[in-house]
Structure 1
């Protein structure tokens, strides 16, 4: 009986030891695969970053590649925001310029009148053109807040050549901004517009 008990005990110990060894091997294999996958992903990530953006040789390591990728993505984001602001400013200026040239249909009638009028009409048209050239150009400034989710758009125009506020709001919405409120004030011959916006966030 004692010999059977000893054999049973040895068998149990052997099975436990074998099971433990198998589990350890499986864990090592899982860890090895995980490291290989991580290494492959880091290498792929590093290949997407232009070489001129690497700040040091340490960037060739996995940790360095992750740091460089984070820095590069941050720079790209800032650049995209900068280009968006420039694009919005250009479109706002274009909208204001079109408004001042067209004048809501008034420009067409003036042109027609100038065509049917004699030399006096041509002279008045030239004089109006000179007055328009003497007017200061419109100013567009986009100020983004530190939180990154809101911004202010400041526009300054001549009182004789105002912006159409609804066109400005349309341009901002097309650029991904949601208008919260807008203020308008007149000082002398200038009109000041201040538009407070929130940046829309898109969930993909």
Structure 2
């Protein structure tokens, strides 16, 4: 191709990109004009809009961090205060049909391992989908979300519950 054709294609592409850029600016942000805006004015509006979006993002991120800190502190205080009042270890078993949730909370006197609980669940016919472990002060929180491996066979939830009770006793 000759240089003239290349330059014409470049101008067409740039004109198309400028149109796309101005189409992304919402009408409430663009200044109403009775005449057509020059490309320089359109670029200024786009730059102003981008700057406004960045400021909004920074403000929202600041508020998110502040809210996360506040929520985390409140949650930790609630957990710390409630666990002090409870007799450990604790087993909570919630059957949700084809899936279930197991929450174990242990103190420093009685600890059990993650693999022990997973083995009990899998031997009972369940498949562990999510497992999480958290340490808060001297307490260990184990949370398991499991589902039935084979729907036709099902899960022996009462057997699993009894074996978990025996584990924490």
| TM-score above 0.5 | no
Instruction: Give the number of the structure with larger relative contact order, counting CA–CA contacts within 8 Å between residues 6 or more apart.
Output: 2
* Greater Cα radius of gyration, structure 1 or 2: 1
- From the two aligned structures, give the one with the greater helix fraction: 1
TM-score range, shorter chain: 0.3 to 0.5
